[in-house]
Structure 1
Amino acid sequence: MKQNFTVRQGALDGVEVFLSVAQHRSFRRAAADLGVTPSAISQAVRLLEARIGAALFVRTTRSVGLTEAGERFLSRAKPAFEELVAASEVARGLGERPAGLLRLSVPRAVVPLLLEPLIASFCKAWPEVEVEISTSKEIVDLAAEGFDAGIRLGQLVAADMVAVPMTPPFRLVVVGSPAYLALHGQPMSTDELRQHACLRWRKSSGALAPWSFNDDGHAIEIAVAGPFIASDFPTMLGAAIEGIGLAQLPEPMAAEGLRAGKLLQVLDPYAPMLPGVFLCYPSRRQILPKLRAFIDHVKSHQTDGGKVRARGDVARAGSRKKS
Structure 2
Amino acid sequence: MKQNFTVRQGALDGVEAFLSVAQHRSFRKAAAALGVTPSAISQAVRALEARIGAALFIRTTRSVSLSEAGERFHARAKPAFEELIAASHGARDLGQRPAGLLRLTVPQAVVPILLEPLIASFCQVYPEIEVEIAASADLVDIAAEGFDAGIRFGQFIAADMVAVRLTPPFPFVVVGSPEYLRRQGRPERIDDLRRHACLRMRRSNASIAPWSFVDNNKSIEAIVSGPLIAHDFPTILGAAAEDMGLAQVPEPIAASLVKAGKLVRVLEPFAPMVPGMFLYYPSRHQMMPKLRAFVDHIKRRKP
Asked whether the two chains share a fold, i.e. TM above 0.5, the reply is: yes
Map of 1:81 onto structure 2 = 81
Residue identity matched to 2:274: L
Matched, 1:275 2:275: yes
**C-alpha distance in structure 1 between counterparts of 2:8 and 2:46, whole Å:** 18
Secondary structure, aligned partner of 2:198: coil
Map of 1:285 onto structure 2 = 285
Map of 2:236 onto structure 1 = 236
| Residue segments in structure 2 that go unaligned for 5+ positions in a row | none
TM-score of the pair, normalised by structure 2: 0.96
Map of 1:319 onto structure 2 = none
Q: Deviations over 1:136-190 (max 9, x none)?
A: 1211111111111111111111122111110011101111111111221111111
Alignment of 1:154-303 (within 5 A): 154-303=154-303
Q: Deviations over 1:16-39 (max 9, x none)?
A: 000001111111111110001111
Map of 2:149 onto structure 1 = 149
TM-score of the pair, normalised by structure 1: 0.90
Q: 1:8 offset after TM fit, Å? A: 3.9
Map of 1:103 onto structure 2 = 103
**C-alpha distance in structure 2 between counterparts of 1:83 and 1:7, whole Å:** 20
**C-alpha distance in structure 2 between counterparts of 1:140 and 1:128, whole Å:** 27
Map of 2:53 onto structure 1 = 53
Residue identity matched to 2:147: F
Q: 1:251 offset after TM fit, Å? A: 0.7
State the identity as a percent: 71
Q: Deviations over 1:234-258 (max 9, x none)?
A: 1111111111111101011111112
Secondary structure, aligned partner of 2:50: helix
Q: 1:7 offset after TM fit, Å? A: 7.2
Map of 1:309 onto structure 2 = none
**C-alpha distance in structure 1 between counterparts of 2:159 and 2:67, whole Å:** 59
Q: Deviations over 1:94-141 (max 9, x none)?
A: 111111111111110000010110111111111111111111121111
Residue identity matched to 1:164: V
Moved more, 7-16 or 293-302: 7-16
Map of 1:112 onto structure 2 = 112
Secondary structure, aligned partner of 1:199: strand
Map of 1:40 onto structure 2 = 40
**C-alpha distance in structure 1 between counterparts of 2:277 and 2:220, whole Å:** 22
Map of 2:66 onto structure 1 = 66
Q: 1:259 offset after TM fit, Å? A: 1.3
Q: 1:9 offset after TM fit, Å? A: 2.0
**C-alpha distance in structure 2 between counterparts of 1:138 and 1:290, whole Å:** 24
Secondary structure, aligned partner of 1:54: coil
**C-alpha distance in structure 2 between counterparts of 1:265 and 1:98, whole Å:** 43
Q: Deviations over 1:36-69 (max 9, x none)?
A: 1111111111111111111111222221121111
**C-alpha distance in structure 1 between counterparts of 2:243 and 2:173, whole Å:** 16
Moved more, 159-168 or 5-14: 5-14
Query: What is the aligned residue count?
Result: 300
**C-alpha distance in structure 1 between counterparts of 2:190 and 2:97, whole Å:** 54
Secondary structure, aligned partner of 2:245: coil
Map of 1:310 onto structure 2 = none
Matched, 1:9 2:9: yes
Residue identity matched to 2:29: R
**C-alpha distance in structure 1 between counterparts of 2:229 and 2:30, whole Å:** 72
Post-superposition, which runs of at least 4 consecutive aligned residues in structure 1 deviate over 6 A? Answer: none
Q: 1:6 offset after TM fit, Å? A: 9.6
Matched, 1:127 2:124: no
Q: 1:10 offset after TM fit, Å? A: 2.3
